[in-house]
Amino acid sequence: MNIDWNTDIYCLIGNPVDNSLSPKIHNHIFNENNANCIYVSFNVEEKDLKTVINSFKALNIKGFNVTIPHKINVINYLDNLTTEAKIMGAVNTVKNLNGKLVGYNTDGIGFAKSLYEEGIKIKGNRFLVLGAGGASYAICKKLAMEGANTIVILNRTLNKAKNLAETIKSEFKETNVYYDFLTNVSHYIDIDVVVNCTSIGMLPDVNQMPVNPLLFKANTIVYDIIYKPLETKFLLTAKERGLKTVNGISMLVNQALLSQNIWLNNDNILKSYEKIKGFLKNM
């Protein structure tokens, strides 16, 4: 990497960002595409968000990613939003367009792309979504936007599942939406795809599972958005049972490539998918 006066700066803001893979992934993609750009990460406190965003404008930072807990509040300090970001009510990618900050959301698209890459359709299928936090919100909205037949949202805290289900129901009349406690999973095993959006099973709690995948039917697809570890106990158990599984790396890589495509306006970047996935597997 040759940093000079002409190098464009991109970054991630969140709290915490200490263990984020984003700098590694983005700098690798920049290198692969000979882009004179670097990517760094900043821990940003809620109280400093406005100052930080304004300083990005002053410093002519070309773009940034936004992660927990700023994905919603950042909207207050942006000049424009894409339709997708408006529907999601959250932003994870920002582009500096001649001094105006435009907010995008690639969470749902990154997820949907990872399904299509695995040959899994959204339209007409029945999805069981575990968890009702930020990731679940983006995924459920995207599933409804793409015409899922049914979305069942299960969560430890019922009220959060209820709120999410009601939001989806009010905006997308064509999709059947249900919600319940996570512990009632056995009532909802007649589904096509189950997606774990809880943090259960993530490092260091690698022996935990959100639900028992042995409950599901033989043709159920099991997706875990966690990528640390690459194969959670939930996925390994599903695999042993012979179920098709998808891990969180593909969503992560797709989101990174979509951000770079927005920033650099270069469709070729999207072709690096397999290379970046390979790079991460060998890390």
Q: Is 162 a catalytic residue?
A: no
Find the shortest distance in angstroms from Cβ 197 to ligand ATR.
Answer: 6
Q: 161 with 131: CB under 8 angstroms?
A: no
Position 68 contacts ligand ATR (CB under 6 A): yes
Out of 156, 239, 241, 277, the residue judged to bind ligand ATR by CB under 6 A = 156
Residue of 57, 71, 86, 233 marked catalytic: 71
**Per CB under 6 A, which region of 15-23, 131-139, 239-247, 270-278 contacts ligand ATR?**
131-139
List the beta strands (DSSP E) in the chain.
8-14, 37-43, 63-66, 80-81, 93-97, 100-104, 126-130, 150-155, 176-181, 193-196, 221-224, 244-246
* DSSP classification of residue 149: S
Residue 217 to residue 231: CA distance in whole angstroms: 20
132 part of the interface to ligand ATR, by CB under 6 A: yes
The Cα–Cα gap between 212 and 46 comes to 37
Q: Which is nearer to ligand ATR, 102 or 135 (CB)?
A: 135
- Min dist CB 278 to ligand ATR, Å, is 25
Residue number, 103 or 134, with CB nearest to ligand ATR:
134
User: How do 80-81 and 100-104 pair as beta strands?
Assistant: parallel
**Which residues ranging from 160 to 199 are in contact with ligand ATR (CB under 6 A)?**
160, 182, 197-199
Phi/psi zone of residue 46: left (φ > 0), alpha (ψ -120 to 50 degrees), beta?
alpha
Please select the residue that binds ligand ATR; options are 200, 246, 249, 252, rule is CB under 6 A: 200
Largest CA distance in the chain: 60
Which range touches ligand ATR (CB under 6 A), out of 16-24, 81-89, 155-163, 252-260? 155-163
Q: 93, 155, 255, 260: which one contacts ligand ATR (CB under 6 A)?
A: 155
Q: Name which position in 63, 110, 131, 213 contacts ligand ATR (CB under 6 A).
A: 131
Distance of alpha carbon 5 from alpha carbon 82, whole angstroms: 31
Are the beta carbons of 13 and 65 closer than 8 angstroms?
yes
| Residue closer to ligand ATR, measured from CB, 37 or 248 | 248
Establish whether the linkage from the previous residue to 213 is cis, with ω within 30° of 0: no
Q: Which residues bind ligand ATR (CB under 6 A)?
A: 68, 131-136, 155-157, 160, 182, 197-200
- The residues carrying an active-site annotation are 71
